[in-house]
């Protein structure tokens, strides 16, 4: 397994493909590269795309040490810039952040705007509203998760899963806003993707909030999907991401049914 030595940390990452379109994909909380993005690694043409993903410090195969949440998004942003420059050999790339990884993605796009060509945020939030805090508490005990999802994470964390997840819940219950004041600093074309039934990053208020505060942002909603729209509707998800990053050679193309409120559905 490939590891990068970044600021004294042993960080697991994966790289696949040799295409000119470089896409860095950031997993969510507890996420690991293949747990999170197996259907993207399998679905994108390696002749067109170079896919890169990592296990964030303290998650997945990037342990020990355990995750340090103090200033973690700024720290992770700096480590990822270092990873892309020193290990992947690029200084510009496209960026996809899922859930908790979306916060790191927004941090990179706001602090290093010349490096990010296009930004894709999947089930992302820049603050914690009372809605999702209630959900965090309801799912604090991993015994209440579906058997499939719990076993998937137990393959990575074993008996530590409950303790590590509960710590994440505690941290997020104490925090409200993460990078809100920096959202206007994101200037690249941005695609906001949400599941219609997402209760971890509910459309109201998060889709509208990011659409209003991020320049050049568009929204697409996947019908009848949860927080994991990139897994539940992987083919549709991959097609939309592909078209956003490599648009067809014509003046306009139109998304499938999209979020109407405050949203453009045409990309030109």
Q: How many CB atoms lie within 10 A of CB 13?
A: 22
The yes-or-no answer on residue 198 being catalytic is yes
Establish whether 45 is a catalytic residue.
no
Residue 175: predicted pLDDT: 81
The CATH class given to the 3-128+179-267 domain equals alpha beta
Query: Using CA atoms, how far apart are residues 93 and 50, in angstroms rounded to an integer?
Result: 10
pTM of this prediction exceeds 0.75:
yes
Question: Can you tell me the distance from the alpha carbon of 23 to that of 12, in angstroms, rounded to the nearest whole number?
Answer: 17
What is the maximum span of the chain, computed from C-alpha positions, in angstroms?
53
Q: Phi, psi (5° rounding) for residue 215?
A: -65, 150
Of residues 98, 120, 107, 109, the one with CA closest to residue 200:
98
- Average confidence (pLDDT) over 10-19: 98
Please say whether the beta carbons of 107 and 72 come within 8 A. no
Confidence of residue 250 (pLDDT cuts 50, 70, 90): low
* pLDDT value, residue 136: 94
> For the segment 21-67, what is each residue's pLDDT rounded down to a tens digit?
999 999 999 999 999 999 999 999 999 999 999 999 999 999 999 99
Crossing angle of helices 33-43 and 234-245, in 10° steps, is 70
Residue 234 pLDDT more than 90? yes
Q: CA-CA distance, 133 to 204, in Å (whole number)?
A: 14
- Catalytic, out of 198, 220, 230, 242: 198
**42 near 70, Cβ under 8 Å?**
no
Confidence of residue 181 (pLDDT cuts 50, 70, 90): confident
Handedness of CA 57, 61, 65, 66 (dihedral sign): positive
Known catalytic residue at 110: no
- Pick from 31, 37, 42: nearest CA to 156: 31
What pLDDT is stored for residue 178 in this prediction? 83
Give the confidence band of 267 by pLDDT, cuts at 50, 70, 90.
very low
Q: What is the pLDDT of residue 268?
A: 25
Question: 268, 247 in Cβ contact below 8 A?
Answer: no
Phi-psi region for residue 158, left (φ > 0), alpha (ψ -120 to 50) or beta? Answer: left
pLDDT-based confidence at 251, cuts 50/70/90? low
Amino acid 217: pLDDT: 98
Of residues 29, 32, 62, 99, which has the active-site annotation?
99
Interatomic CA distance for residues 149 and 156, integer angstroms: 12
Which residue is catalytic, options 29, 53, 62, 227?
227
């Amino acid at each position: 397994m490939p590891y990068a030595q970044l600021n004294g940390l042993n960080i697991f990452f994966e790289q696949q493909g040799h295409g000119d379109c470089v896409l860095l994909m950031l997993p969510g909380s507890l996420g690991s590269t293949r747990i999170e993005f197996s259907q993207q690694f399998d679905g994108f043409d390696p002749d067109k795309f170079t896919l890169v993903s990592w296990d964030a410090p303290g998650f997945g195969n990037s342990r020990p040490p355990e995750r340090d949440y103090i200033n973690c998004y700024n720290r992770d942003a700096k480590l990822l810039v270092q990873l892309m420059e020193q290990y992947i050999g690029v200084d510009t790339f496209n960026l996809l952040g899922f859930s908790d990884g979306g916060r790191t993605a927004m941090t990179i796009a706001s602090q290093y705007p010349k490096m990010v060509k296009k930004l894709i945020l999947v089930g992302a939030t820049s603050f914690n509203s009372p809605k999702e805090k209630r959900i965090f508490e309801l799912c604090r005990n991993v015994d209440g998760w579906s058997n499939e999802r719990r076993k998937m994470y137990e393959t990575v964390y074993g008996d530590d899963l409950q303790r590590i997840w509960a710590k994440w819940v505690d941290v997020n219950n104490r925090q409200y806003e993460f990078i809100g004041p920096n959202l206007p600093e994101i200037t690249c074309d941005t695609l906001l993707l949400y599941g219609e039934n997402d209760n971890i990053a509910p459309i109201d208020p998060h889709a509208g909030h990011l659409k209003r505060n991020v320049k050049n942002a568009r929204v697409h909603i996947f019908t009848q999907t949860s927080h994991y729209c990139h897994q539940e509707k992987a083919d549709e998800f991959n097609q939309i991401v592909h078209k956003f990053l490599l648009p067809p050679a014509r003046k306009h193309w139109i998304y499938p049914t999209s979020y109407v409120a405050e949203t453009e559905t045409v990309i030109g």
